[in-house]
A and B are shown apart, each in its own frame.
Chain A
């Protein structure tokens, strides 16, 4: 299809490309600023105004030394890893099973269970009753309170179910003739065909858990059980960098004041870097997820 190039079209293209480039830059600029600032000299950083595009003064990793020596951040990282792995495994298995049974056309209670499950998307008990139930189950201040609630989500089940429905019924029928049970059919025959969807679900669960903090704020009291995001909240939102300074051997007031901002920037990078490094490579799975999810609301 050949279109005539007109002046109007050229002007439109110039404006369009410029605005899009501006949006793109605006999206990454804040993190770039944090990255540049995290290698800056603390004294210059304190006096700096506005956006920082390049480390101020000689690049230094002093802030990172303080952050890496901090036990709270290390513990938080470890806990977050535990939570991410457990939550993802439980969530994935649950989602697979739910997606499987709710896509079996011959299962009599299919529609009833679909209703029971999807209704929770529209109406639920809310924060306080859920809190009471978790507490009454003696899950308060244990890892279970983070790992279990929310692991099997309606949205993921819908995605999984839609994908499984795309597999021809004949596959299951012929497997049954060969004497395969439901577990064999699901895990040996269906799972290899669902690789893309499984990748989507794993990423939704893992990134969601990596970034979640409110659940932990509600249910976790013990310092040793805190995930990374709760530690971050203390450092970034409440400006509490005392333990970092103490463990890094900073005891004079002036140094502490000077290093506070630097340490906050370094913490931000340390906590966000894993996600920033993988997201360009996994974003296509998220796109796939949105597409499958959008086929059926």
Chain B
């Protein structure tokens, strides 16, 4: 993910953007242009028209009129004001931030630690076996994962019984998914479980590309295992970690709502409801308030976009590693 500047072939001449030059290019490479049409059309239809649909956030949307064209009732920032001053704003904003933040804090470092531990294993067979085992959760569907979580958290389930035997809740059997204080723990914990193996691949790749001679030199200089890790291994994978961190920061305000809407219930709503699950509920599931929910979604996207730009800029200044 060393996203530095793209290499430009030195022989390539600076082309002028005149109508004649474009015409000539079309004539010479008409097949390429023909192939580009369906691809462009695809992205326009499924990405850019929905982007134009964001205009709904500023309208009183009427299904008969559509979101572009004459006769639209523009309402400005009415929906944004309604969301920000409404009762769900603080709840969804706080939950989105907290769940993301805990994920960043706890599930981001896990694959790195796991990769570093695997890197110390000399027995290839053991290493391969553990890796294969650790990839398994990544391939299970979200519905099945949540089915498992539900089953394990019910009274008598794997996790509920474990908590009980450890003396949690006074040793009584409780359904863990009904406990407000546990929702985020369950969310982040299952995230770690699902991603620890697969997430480590990229770090293992970075680790294997570190020059082995550096270690040999370090041993000659008398550096022990910890010193080698600290002075060679970690700096070696630092660019990868930074890039992954930027990507994570950019999505600090986008919590995957799939797991949330599969797992939350009336008892945990207060701590589980995030902006995207709220958008789904208001926009599609319960009431079809397309305009209002579009505004809430846009509010969320703008925060995300800004975060991505800011973290990228900071990273470029500090470490000369950036995404774009």
Q: Residues on A close to B: CB < 8 A?
A: 1, 3, 8-9, 12-13, 16-17, 19-21, 23-28, 30-31, 33-34, 48-51, 94, 97-98, 100-101, 104-109, 113, 116-117, 120, 122-133, 136-137, 148-150, 152, 181-183, 207, 210-214, 218, 229, 232-233, 236-237, 261, 264, 268, 271-272, 275-276, 279-280, 283, 286-287, 290-291, 294-297
Q: Within B125-169, which residues are at the interface with A (CB < 8 Å)?
A: 126, 129-130, 132-137, 139-144, 146-148, 150-152, 156-158, 161-162, 165
A219 to B298, CA, bound (A): 21
Asked whether, in the complex, the Cβ of A290 is within 8 Å of the Cβ of B144, the reply is no
**B294: CB under 8 A from chain A?**
yes
Q: Residues on B close to A: CB < 8 A?
A: 1-3, 9, 12, 15, 21-22, 25, 28-29, 31-32, 35-36, 38-40, 42-43, 45-54, 56, 66-67, 114, 117-118, 120-121, 126, 129-130, 132-137, 139-144, 146-148, 150-152, 156-158, 161-162, 165, 193, 196-198, 201-202, 205, 215-216, 219, 225, 240, 243, 247, 250, 258, 262, 276, 279-280, 283-284, 290, 293-294, 297-298, 300-301, 305, 308, 323-324
When distances are taken between beta carbons in the complex, the residues of chain A under 8 Å from B162 are: 50
A286 to B15, CA, bound (A): 39
Residue of A nearest to B220 (CB): A1
Asked whether, in the complex, the Cβ of A129 is within 8 Å of the Cβ of B294, the reply is yes
Residue of B nearest to A184 (CB): B31
A26 shortest CB reach to chain B, Å: 7
When distances are taken between beta carbons in the complex, the residues of chain B under 8 Å from A272 are: 140-141, 144
Known: A124-B50, A125-B50, A294-B1. A236 touches B283 (CB 8 A): no
Q: Which one of A23, A131, A210, A283 contacts B114 once the chains associate, using CB atoms below 8 Å? A: A23
Residue of A nearest to B308 (CB): A122
Q: Which one of A31, A181, A214, A264 contacts B140 once the chains associate, using CB atoms below 8 Å? A: A31
Residue of A nearest to B55 (CB): A129
Asked whether, in the complex, the Cβ of A128 is within 8 Å of the Cβ of B290, the reply is yes
Known: A20-B117, A214-B258, A297-B1. A236 touches B141 (CB 8 A): no
* Subset of 27 A-B contacts with CB under 8 Å: A20-B118, A49-B156, A50-B162, A97-B35, A97-B38, A100-B35, A101-B35, A105-B12, A109-B36, A113-B40, A124-B50, A126-B279, A126-B300, A133-B53, A137-B45, A214-B258, A236-B146, A236-B150, A237-B143, A268-B148, A272-B140, A272-B144, A283-B135, A290-B201, A290-B202, A295-B2, A296-B1
Count: A-B pairs, CB below 8 Å? 259
Q: Which one of B50, B120, B280, B283 contacts A133 once the chains associate, using CB atoms below 8 Å? A: B50
Asked whether, in the complex, the Cβ of A149 is within 8 Å of the Cβ of B46, the reply is yes
Known: A51-B158, A124-B301, A127-B279. A30 touches B152 (CB 8 A): yes
Residue of A nearest to B47 (CB): A120
When distances are taken between beta carbons in the complex, the residues of chain B under 8 Å from A229 are: 141, 143
Indicate the member of B136, B197, B225 with the most A CB atoms within 10 Å: B136
Mostly, the B contact residues are: helix
Q: Which one of B129, B201, B293 contacts A287 once the chains associate, using CB atoms below 8 Å? A: B201
Asked whether, in the complex, the Cβ of B117 is within 8 Å of the Cβ of A130, the reply is no
Q: Which 3 A-B pairs have the closest CB atoms?
A: A125-B50, A129-B53, A236-B147
Asked whether, in the complex, the Cβ of B31 is within 8 Å of the Cβ of A20, the reply is no
Known: A3-B219, A116-B43. A136 touches B66 (CB 8 A): yes
When distances are taken between beta carbons in the complex, the residues of chain A under 8 Å from B305 are: 122-123
Asked whether, in the complex, the Cβ of B118 is within 8 Å of the Cβ of A237, the reply is no
Known: A1-B215, A133-B49, A236-B150. A23 touches B136 (CB 8 A): no
When distances are taken between beta carbons in the complex, the residues of chain A under 8 Å from B28 are: 106
